[in-house]
Structure 1
Amino acid sequence: MQEIFKTIENIAIKISDALKYADLGYTDHKNQTGDTQLKLDVLSDEIITAEFKDVKSVKSLISEEKTDEELLNEDGEYIVAYDPLDGSSLVDVNFAVGSIFGIYKKSLSAKNLVASVYTIYGPRLEMVVCKDSPKLYRLKRDGEFGFVRELKLQEKGKLNATGATQKGWSDTHRKLVNTLFERGYRLRYSGAMVSDLHQVLLKGGGLFSYPATSDAPKGKLRVSFEVLPFAFIYEKAGGATSDGFSNSLFDIEIKELHQTTPCFFGSVDEIETLHQIYGKKS
């Protein structure tokens, strides 16, 4: 596992450097979920693939930018599912973006997710690594990542980061958002999942939501390489998650590599408020 974490450190440094100078244009291709690929998306995916090819413990890679699972080492123990550059469409306006990694043991299922990592490319290069608890690391002047602190969510937060186009929201979701604002929550949403979840986590709590909408009833965010890796981190940090009705995002059964779901991540209090308004699955 440590070899995987070290490989992600190397990847983060290379992608961070690429962001400073790479072409920000679009390719002529779309990924599996229909998004037109940015050249940076493809470059980031190529960097990650190249770095993992010599890691013998990694059996295969699953990426937002790959149609199918890519086999690396038949005898490897882990599957690495990742979003190579979350928020890439915001690079042209110089917002913070990131990479997300979920590490699964033996097979791709929620119960087999054993570690998560995300990196965030902003004014500083940071990385959150979670096996037993989420730990924040920051790149130092000597080119090494130094431990900063363990991350813990408070019982109740102050931030409200809600995604998707508002005209597609259900009345239920609109009520949830308005309830939080009426309670004094502050809006914090950039459009980059990594950045918004990172802010809620480091500021101690709140709610990040990407609901089902009229045009995307199954949500937009991908289960295996976006949703579950962050659910792992939030629940290990003392928070809670849901698809809107479930007790946990880990109740999801992965049936497709690029499966999507509505998702909610937050402090315990905010997820309780969610269930008071949305209800629960029986």
Structure 2
Amino acid sequence: MATKDINTADTAHEIRTIDEVVDVIASTAPEIRTGLPGRRVAAEEENPSGETQMAADVFADDLLCERIGALEGVGEYASEERPESIDVGNGSLSVALDPLDGSSNLKPNNTMGTIFAVYDGPLPAHGRDLVAAGYVLYGPVMTMIVARDGTVNEYVVYDDSSYELVREDITLPEEGTVYGFGGRVPDWTDDFEAFAREVEQDASRKLRYGGSMIGDVNQILTYGGIFSYPTLQSAPEGKLRVQFEGYPIGYVIETAGGATSDGTKSLLDVDKDELHARTPLYIGNTDLVTELESALD
């Protein structure tokens, strides 16, 4: 995976900044989770992608912006909830977040999470500028996945804001056993629908789709398989945002030995120069992603 290695290409100060970003996200996660019950209502605004914001989206974004923006080594902060990035200092690293992925799941009380990406460069950045990425999953147990320095680790995050390493050097299982596909079936392209039907015919795989992208991604990281939020007839560019979802999830999955694609190439090689640009997303075991790309030719 041709991404930057912070240990050889950058300074000790930048390594420390990445540690601090991870610490802030871990320590803020319990506060975000505790604040959800009173914020399961729509806010007055839409986000830059035209989606209705929940009060919880704004709450999580404000907390993370304040705390990450206070770190000396961070120069820019951006999130799905803000139209533009914010200059927060003179540091060389930029942090982009989806503060509360899956916030539409607040009403039915389903899984959601916080996605983060740390780039060595200004925003909008490129996937190959990533030096760390990961997410917090607000499931029955609050866990945090961190990909950096060629390794993916999992931590349990406790209510007192401490966190403990529970799995090291995570890789996708060789035999993927789950699948999930987003978007409405009538809106799928013919090629993708044919591929999806073929995957469904394999009795060794189980459907897992929860309507929260980060929860579905974590299923793939745990059990292997394939997840897609594909090109749609109504949305040729897909639904997910490159800076906030496509790049960081691509980084996590590829660091864990899996494969990612926008349909033709790695998600980390997608080249978009707008902060809120979108991309189709296909992730999972290498053999399945390769089959997917062949099916979409």
| TM-score, normalising length: structure 2 | 0.90
Q: Which residue of 2 aligns with 1:65?
A: 81
1:186 aligns with 2:206: yes
> Which of 96, 105, 119 is the aligned partner of 1:104?
119
Summarize deviations over 1:201-255 as a string: whole Å, max 9, x none: 112x100101111111100000001111010000010000011122x11121131
Summarize deviations over 1:177-213 as a string: whole Å, max 9, x none: 111111222110011011000111112x100101111
Q: Which residue of 1 aligns with 2:61?
A: 45
Contact 1:29-1:37 at 8 Å conserved across structures: yes
CA distance in 1, matches of 2:238, 2:138: 26
Q: Which residue of 2 aligns with 1:250?
A: 268
CA distance in 2, matches of 1:223, 1:183: 31
Q: Which residue of 2 aligns with 1:83?
A: 98
Paired residues for 1:168-179 under 5 Å: 168-179=187-198
Contact 1:134-1:236 at 8 Å conserved across structures: yes
Contact 2:27-2:162 at 8 Å conserved across structures: no
Contact 1:156-1:268 at 8 Å conserved across structures: no
CA displacement at 1:123 relative to structure 2: 1.1
Q: Which residue of 2 aligns with 1:277?
A: 295
Contact 1:155-1:239 at 8 Å conserved across structures: no
1:259 aligns with 2:277: yes
CA displacement at 1:14 relative to structure 2: 1.4
CA displacement at 1:276 relative to structure 2: 2.7
Summarize deviations over 1:125-170 as a string: whole Å, max 9, x none: 1100110211000024764211011221123301111001111001
Paired residues for 1:1-282 under 5 Å: 1-19=18-36, 21-73=37-89, 75-107=90-122, 108-131=125-148, 132-140=150-158, 143-150=161-168, 151-184=170-203, 185-203=205-223, 205-246=224-265, 248-279=266-297
Change in CA separation of 1:143 and 1:224 when aligned onto 2, cut-off 3 Å? closer
Contact 2:180-2:208 at 8 Å conserved across structures: yes
CA distance in 1, matches of 2:66, 2:269: 33
Contact 2:26-2:157 at 8 Å conserved across structures: no
Could you tell me which runs of 5 or more consecutive residues in structure 1 were left unpaired when the two chains were aligned.
none
Runs of 4+ that moved beyond 3 A: 140-143
CA displacement at 1:95 relative to structure 2: 0.8
Contact 1:240-1:265 at 8 Å conserved across structures: yes
Contact 2:46-2:53 at 8 Å conserved across structures: yes
Report SS of the residue matched to 2:107. helix
Between stretches 152-161 and 95-104, larger displacement belongs to: 152-161
Report SS of the residue matched to 1:154. coil
One-letter amino acid matched to 1:190: G
Q: How many residue pairs align between the two structures?
A: 275
CA displacement at 1:119 relative to structure 2: 0.2
CA distance in 2, matches of 1:197, 1:270: 15
Could you tell me which runs of 5 or more consecutive residues in structure 2 were left unpaired when the two chains were aligned.
1-17
Contact 1:16-1:125 at 8 Å conserved across structures: no
Give identity over the alignment, percent.
35
